[in-house]
Amino acid sequence: MNLREFFIEDRLEKFRTEAPCNLGESGIRNLDLDALAEYLDLDLRELGKLSLADSPNSGRKDLREEISKLYHNVSPDQVLVTTGTGEALFIAFHLFLQNGDLTSLFWPAFQALYEVPRSLGANLQKVNLLPRLENEELGFGKENLNKLFQNSPKLIVFNHPHNPTGIIAEEEDKKEVQRLSANFPNWILFDEHYRFLSEEEDLGWSGFGICENSISTGSITKCFGVMGLRIGWLIGPRDWIQKARSMKDYLTHTVSPISEFLTLKLLQNRKTLQSKIQETLKRNIRTFAHAARENKLPGIISFKEPRGGVVGFAKLQPSLESRKFADLLYEKAGVFVLPSADFETEGYIRLGFGETEERFRLGLARWSNLGSDEIALLNK
């Protein structure tokens, strides 16, 4: 099968750079280099001494050492530095899956998590999280976790904190995953892009190591407002990481030494910036949740605050079609959001809360001024 168009990225490419209030992105509003250097107490003249030769194919050793510290009992030779998590996922899916294999994942999902498996001929087992979201229940739930493991899938994709719902693995979820994985014969991929922005202290839980056949993907780009660095990573057993590195040689081969250098400095000094970002993120989420509860945001009927990550799913009035509503919101209020139709489901919009507080509040103010007559024009 062919890869279809990337619905989410198509809309992002169209609106993200021009939107007065960007709630469509799934990351923190991007920093400029001067601001990053100030946060990290970094002298940018150090860049002048940096060699522009290729980095090692696996990633520079000191960066892999720093990434390994984010996990329990992981050594640098279990780390592969990649061009974002997109490359990491692409490599993993191609190594694990063949035509007819079953892939199990939470639904709705970020398109890269199922489109690449689908293009390889894999069958998808979708575990729907929306009823749990609408009932405002915490965590993924025992029933959903058991569904994830049903029918012995060749690969389980465990995305947490979850995009787009913001659900995180609660303590009971972790215990249930451990129980279920004990006798699971195949592989589990823990996609953990938002570990730096979870309600848990410092770093969110990682599922890597919960069983022998587990791998993890991660990145700093969305959580720290440095999307342009394009740095991600794969964590896995040593032998498997060597296979992944060999496949990476056919793709990007190496990543930019400048990106690696800045990522290393960020990880070594992340906590101050991480704390500041978490505070802003929490305020934006609380502001939106309060406005939604007070019925000040036309079109929205319910919203459950995300427990981790940067994004959340807000439920629309039953009469509204998500793409038309997203278009109206941009045209009339300058607020860019993603329609749930881009997640191949209907009745919601995905919101990113990484915008600056000022732009966020001004955007919500313009949204609140939308008239009921304008909303009524969108009725199906």
pLDDT tens per residue, range 167-201? 999 999 999 999 999 999 999 999 999 999 987 66
CATH number at residue 198: 3.40.640.10
Determine phi and psi for 198, rounding to 5 degrees. -125, 160
239 with 295, same domain: the answer is: no
Tell me, yes or no, whether 108 and 246 share the same domain.
Answer: yes
Looking at the predicted structure, is the pLDDT value of residue 16 above 90? Answer: no
Q: What is the pLDDT of residue 198?
A: 82
Element (H, E) at 175: helix 171-181
pLDDT bracket for residue 7 (50, 70, 90): confident
Range(s) of the domain holding residue 231: 49-269
Residue 223 domain flag: yes
pLDDT of res. 143: 97
**Residues 81-132: pLDDT tens digits?**
999 999 999 999 999 999 999 999 999 999 999 999 999 999 999 999 999 9
CA distances from 300 to 7, 303, 317, 347 (A): 23, 8, 6, 10
Q: Residue 102 domain-assigned?
A: yes
Confidence of residue 377 (pLDDT cuts 50, 70, 90): low
Q: How far apart are CA 215 and CA 109, in angstroms?
A: 19
What mean pLDDT do residues 355-362 have? 96
**Is 42 part of a structural domain of the chain?**
no
pLDDT at 373: 65
Same domain, 337 and 259: no
Q: Are residues 97 and 160 in the same domain?
A: yes
Residues 162 and 308 in one domain: no
Q: Is residue 88 located within the same domain as residue 203?
A: yes
User: Considering 269, 303, 330, which residue would you say is the last residue of a domain?
Assistant: 269
What local confidence, expressed as pLDDT, does residue 112 receive?
93
Task: Identify whether residues 21 and 56 lie together within a single domain.
Answer: no
Least confident of 121-130, 162-171, 296-305, 366-375: 366-375
Q: Are residues 78 and 127 in the same domain?
A: yes
Report the chain's mean pLDDT, rounded to a whole number. Answer: 94
- Work out how many domains the chain is built from and give that number: 2
* Residue 15 pLDDT: 84
d(CA 149, CA 176): 11
Are 70 and 121 contained in the same domain? yes
Instruction: Give domain status of residue 310, yes or no.
Output: yes
The predicted model scores a pTM of 0.95
Q: Which pair of structure tokens corresponds to residue 193? A: 């892009």
Helix (H, G, I), strand (E, B) or coil at 197: coil
Domain's final residue, options 269, 285, 312? 269
Tell me which of 221, 243, 269 is where a domain ends: 269
CATH code at position 363? 3.90.1150.10
Is 378 part of a structural domain of the chain? no
199 and 132: one domain?
yes
Please tell me whether residue 299 adopts helix, strand or coil conformation: coil
